[in-house]
């Protein structure tokens, strides 16, 4: 936390298990609450991402929380935690990864090496479209809100 503060890197701590440790600019990170304990949003988004990666000829795996390329490089992750009568769910899609910065600020041992979709020939628009096409499937079930910036 002190190093992040000195580098002017914002830190957000979420009460969640699983998911991403560091989010770089250009990545997509989503947090939402679900009333339904049979929530399928993350599972279906995972399948959509796996399909897009396989279409590029990549060997991809899902290990329960993380999407891995070549069973080594973490490119996306999800997490779910029960909070009373709700599920708090997160999903993170990495676009571009600053591995050296992550190594500097991360105190946990790195078990999986993070990479981004950019490393595999995707544009930011490609990544955003994967996510937005998935959200469209849910229609009125999802209310999208933005996190207010410090300026608002």
> In the 8-state DSSP scheme, what is residue 56?
T
Give the pairing type, strands 73-83 and 113-114. parallel
pLDDT tens digits for range 59-80: 999 988 899 999 899 999 888 8
The CA distances from residue 2 to 10, 20, 22, 102, 136, in Å, are 11, 19, 15, 14, 40
- Give the Cα separation of 68 and 150 in Å (integer): 34
**Unique residue bearing structure tokens 């479209």:** 129
Of the pLDDT bands very low, low, confident and very high (cuts 50, 70, 90), residue 37 is low
The answer on pLDDT for 36 being more than 60 is yes
pLDDT tens digits for range 2-24: 767 777 776 656 554 555 566 77
Beta bridge partners of 76: 67, 93
> In the 8-state DSSP scheme, what is residue 101?
H
The CA distances from residue 63 to 75, 100, 126, in Å, are 12, 25, 23
- Give the Cα separation of 74 and 39 in Å (integer): 23
Contact criterion met (CB below 8 Å) for 131 and 144: no
pTM given for the model:
0.74
Q: Which residues, at least 6 apart from 138, have a Cβ–Cβ distance to it below 8 Å?
A: 41
- Give the Cα separation of 119 and 39 in Å (integer): 31
């Amino acid at each position: 936390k002190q190093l992040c503060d000195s580098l002017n890197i914002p830190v957000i701590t979420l009460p969640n298990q699983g998911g991403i440790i560091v989010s770089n600019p250009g990545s997509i990170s989503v947090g939402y609450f679900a009333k339904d304990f049979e929530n399928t949003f993350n599972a279906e988004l995972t399948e959509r991402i796996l399909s897009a990666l396989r279409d590029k000829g990549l060997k991809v795996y899902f290990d329960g929380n993380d999407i891995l390329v070549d069973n080594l490089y973490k490119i996306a992750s999800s997490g779910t935690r029960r909070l009373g009568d709700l599920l708090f769910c997160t999903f993170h899609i990495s676009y571009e990864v600053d591995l050296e910065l992550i190594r500097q600020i991360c105190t946990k041992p790195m078990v999986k090496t993070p990479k981004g979709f950019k490393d595999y020939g995707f544009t930011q628009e490609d990544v955003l479209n994967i996510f937005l096409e998935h959200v469209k499937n849910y229609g009125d079930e999802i209310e999208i809100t933005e996190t207010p910036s410090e300026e608002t």
